[in-house]
Chain A
Amino acid sequence: MTDPVLSIRNLTVDIPGRYGTVRPVDGVSYDIAAGEILGVVGESGAGKSMAGNAVIGLLNRPAFISGGEIWLNGQRIDQLRGDTMRRLRGKQIGMVFQDPLTSLNPLLQVGEQLTETMLTHLDISKAEAEKRAVAALDEVGIPGAAERLNSYPHEFSGGMRQRVVIALALCAEPSLVIADEPTTALDVSVQAQIISLLRKLCRERGTAVMLITHDMGVIAEAADRVAVMYAGRLAELGPVRDVITDPSHPYTHGLMASTPLASRGKARLHQIPGAMPRLDAIPEGCAFNPRCPHARDKCRHDPRPEMGASNAACWFPLVGAEVL
C-alpha cells in the first residue's frame, strides 16, 4: 500500500483556561489514503471539527496541539508556524466549510477569488489562472462558467455557492480536502448533488477527503471508511459497511440505532440514556461507561481502552450486534 496522504498520530488538543485545562481531542490517530474519503462522525462536542482544524492549523487560541504528530505527504506539519504553514495550507489542503456564504468574500467576484488563490500558490500567469478558473467552475457543474466569473457570491443560490467553495478549495490542486459539514445547510436534493460531486472529484483526482458530518446517511453513501468520535476520543474506526451495519463499539451501536431510519416500523426510537459528558467532567476509564448498557467494573476503573484488533476502542466489543 502506498503511503497515506494524511497521517495523524495520537493527536491531542488542549484548551487551557482559568479553571483548568480541557482536552477536546484526546489521542486520536487515523490515516487517509489518496482517493479515499474518510468520514468523521460524532455528536456536537465530540471533537470532530477540532481535529480537522488542528490539521489545517486553524485552532483558535488558546487551543493548541499539546501532543501527537500530523504528517502530510511525508512532511510533519504540526509544528509549522506562520508563513510556512500558510503556504502549505493553501497549496496542499483545501477546506470546505458548512456555510458557503461566510466562506466567500462578498465584495469580490468569484473569478477574482479563484485567480487570487491560484496566483498565490501556483506558478502560473494571470491569463492561465483565468483559464483554469473557468475550467474549475465548469468542473463543479456551474452552467455558463465563463460568464459567472464576474458574478458576486450573493448572485448564486446556496447549492451553487457551495460548488464555488468546492472549486475554490480544489483550484490549487491540494492533495487533501477537509469538508466540515459541507451539506448541512443545504436541501436534500442539493445535498445529493454536492455529495456526488465530492465523490467524483475525489475519484478522478485522487484527492484525499476528510468528510466531517453528523449525518449517518451522508457517511454511508459517501465515505469509504468512517471514524466515530466520542468525547474527544476515537470510539471506532473501520470500513463504512462494517461500522454501520455491524458496529463493535456500544456507542456506535446506540448512535446508529437511534436514527429514525434504523427503527422503521418500531413505535419508539432506540435511546442512549444521558448526554455527552462536558469536557471538564469526562468520566474515568472509558468515557462512555456511564451511558453504556454493557459497562462492567473494568470499564469504570481501568485506564481507557485502546483501539485493538477489533475496530473499536472498547474492552468488550460487540459481536454480531446488527443494526439494519
Chain B
Amino acid sequence: MALVRVQNLSRVFDVSKPWLNRVIERRSKSFLKAVSEVDFEIAERSTYALVGESGSGKSTIGRMLVGLLTPTEGNVEIEGVDLAHERDAARVEAVRADIQMIFQDPYASLNPRWRVRDIIVEPVAAKGGETKGLAEKLLEQVGLSAQDAGKFPHEFSGGQRQRICIARALASEPKLIVCDEPTSALDVSVQAQVLNLMSDLKDDFGLTYLLISHDLTVVQHMADRIGVLYLGRLVEEADPDTLFDDAKHPYTQMLLEAAPRMDGFGREVVPPEGEIPNPIDPPSGCAFHPRCPIAQQICQRERPRPRSLGTTRVACHLAE
C-alpha cells in the first residue's frame, strides 16, 4: 500500500524584485517554478530516492512532504490525508506526528545551546509525551552511549552528530522520514556507517524513507525506487537495477555517463554539453531538449507526459 501519494505537485516561488524597483525598471513580476507537475507514490516500508542536480527541485519536494512549504498546486497525501487541504485539525496533527526529517548539515541542525538529551526528546516533549529515559534508549539504538545524553553538540564529530539527528527523528516513532542529503557532509567511511545505520533502523522500526541525494552511488545502494528530477520535473522513475542498467531518458543516461567511476581509470568521458538552464525561464516543451542529443521538433513544442515502459516510467517523447 502506498504511504505517500504525490499528485500533480507544483511549487512556484515569487522571485520578483521589490515593487519600487519593478516600477522604475519597468519589469514585470518573475516566478520560479521549482517543482512542476510531479507524480509519485512511496510504498510503505520502502525507500524512495529523488536524485537530481542542484536546482532540480528535490529539496523543495521534500519540504512540501513534511509541510515546511505548501504546494502551489496539486497535493501530497500521507496515509490518505491531504495535509495542505484537510480541514480536520486532529487528523492533520495525527499524520504530522508520523513524519520526521533529517537534514544535510549536522552542524546547523542541532541547537548548540541545548544538551543532546533535550534535543532528542523535543519532538515528544513538544506534544507533552513521556520522555524519561527516552534519549538514553535512542542514543544506544543509533550507536552512541547513554552517557552522551548530557553532552552538548560541539563535543561530537560530524558522523556522531548525524546519529543524534537520526535519534531525534526516531523519538516520536514516525512512519516516514524525509532524509535530505543525509550523508553529503560526511566522509566516505562515516557515510558507510550512517547508511548502514539507516538500513538497520528501517528494518527494526518499519520505516519508510524519502531519500534526497545528488549522489548516484548512495541512491543506488539505498533505494527501492528512484525518481530522477530535471528542472523540477520528474523525467524518469524506475527501480535501481533497471535504472542503472537500462536508463531510458537521455538526461538519466547523460547523468550516469558523467558520474565518476571507481573503475574508470583514464576514462575519456565526452563531457555533457551545457548546463542546467535558468529555471525562471525554462525551455519550451521538454525542458531537456536544448541539451538532448536525440531531440526532435516535437520536443520543443510539447511537454512529454510520463508513460510506462516496462517497470520504468519515463517522460520523453522518443525513449523506447
Contact B264 A220 (CB under 8 A): yes
Q: Which residue of chain A has the shortest Cβ distance to B265 in the bound complex?
A: A241
List residues of B whose CB falls within 8 A of some A CB.
53-54, 157-160, 187-193, 195-196, 199, 214-218, 220-222, 254-255, 258-269, 271-272, 275-276
In A222-265, which residues have CB < 8 Å from any B CB? 240-241, 244-245, 254-256, 258-264
A244 to B: closest C-beta gap in Å: 6
Does residue A269 face the partner (Cβ distance < 8 Å to B)? Answer: yes
In A117-145, which residues have CB < 8 Å from any B CB? none
List residues of A whose CB falls within 8 A of some B CB.
43-44, 157, 159-160, 187-193, 195-196, 214-218, 220-221, 240-241, 244-245, 254-256, 258-264, 267-272, 275-276, 323-324
* C-alpha spacing A216/B214, complex, angstroms: 16
B107 to A: closest C-beta gap in Å: 12
* C-alpha spacing A245/B263, complex, angstroms: 8
* C-alpha spacing A254/B187, complex, angstroms: 13
* C-alpha spacing A245/B53, complex, angstroms: 29
Extra contacts, 9 of them, besides A159-B275, A193-B272, A259-B192 (Cβ < 8 A), are: A157-B275, A189-B272, A214-B187, A215-B260, A220-B263, A255-B188, A260-B215, A260-B221, A270-B192
Contact B190 A275 (CB under 8 A): yes
A274 to B: closest C-beta gap in Å: 9
Tell which of A191, A269, A324 touches B192, judged by Cβ atoms closer than 8 Å.
A269
Return chain A residues, CB-CB under 8 Å to B222.
260
Contact B196 A195 (CB under 8 A): no
* C-alpha spacing A254/B217, complex, angstroms: 17
Contact B53 A188 (CB under 8 A): yes
Number of inter-chain CB pairs below 8 Å: 123
Q: Which of B157, B193, B262, B271 has the most chain A CB within a 10 Å cutoff?
A: B262
* C-alpha spacing A294/B217, complex, angstroms: 28
Q: Which residue of chain A has the shortest Cβ distance to B54 in the bound complex?
A: A187
A239 to B: closest C-beta gap in Å: 9
* C-alpha spacing A268/B196, complex, angstroms: 6
Return chain A residues, CB-CB under 8 Å to B272.
189, 192-193
B188 to A: closest C-beta gap in Å: 6
Return chain A residues, CB-CB under 8 Å to B189.
43, 254-255, 258, 271-272
Q: Which of B160, B187, B188, B261 has the most chain A CB within a 10 Å cutoff?
A: B188
Tell which of B157, B215, B220, B260 touches A192, judged by Cβ atoms closer than 8 Å.
B260
Contact A218 B260 (CB under 8 A): yes
A190 to B: closest C-beta gap in Å: 6
Contact B258 A221 (CB under 8 A): no
Contact A258 B191 (CB under 8 A): yes
B263 to A: closest C-beta gap in Å: 5
Contact A256 B192 (CB under 8 A): no
Q: Which residue of chain A has the shortest Cβ distance to B197 in the bound complex?
A: A271
Contact A260 B275 (CB under 8 A): no
* C-alpha spacing A57/B187, complex, angstroms: 27
Tell which of B53, B158, B160, B271 touches A196, judged by Cβ atoms closer than 8 Å.
B271
Q: Which of B158, B190, B268 has the most chain A CB within a 10 Å cutoff?
A: B190
Q: List 26 A-B contacts (CB under 8 A).
A: A43-B190, A44-B158, A160-B275, A187-B53, A188-B216, A189-B254, A189-B272, A191-B258, A192-B271, A215-B260, A217-B217, A220-B261, A220-B263, A221-B261, A221-B264, A245-B263, A255-B189, A256-B262, A258-B188, A259-B217, A259-B262, A260-B218, A264-B221, A272-B192, A275-B157, A323-B262
What are the 4 closest A-B residue pairs judged by CB atoms, nearest first? A217-B260, A258-B192, A43-B187, A187-B53
* C-alpha spacing A115/B188, complex, angstroms: 40
Q: Which residue of chain A has the shortest Cβ distance to B261 in the bound complex?
A: A217
* C-alpha spacing A191/B193, complex, angstroms: 26
Return chain B residues, CB-CB under 8 Å to A216.
188, 262
Return chain B residues, CB-CB under 8 Å to A323.
262
Given A43-B189, A157-B275, is A264 in contact with B261 using a C-beta cutoff of 8 Å? no
A307 to B: closest C-beta gap in Å: 22
Return chain A residues, CB-CB under 8 Å to B158.
44
* C-alpha spacing A259/B216, complex, angstroms: 12
* C-alpha spacing A148/B193, complex, angstroms: 46
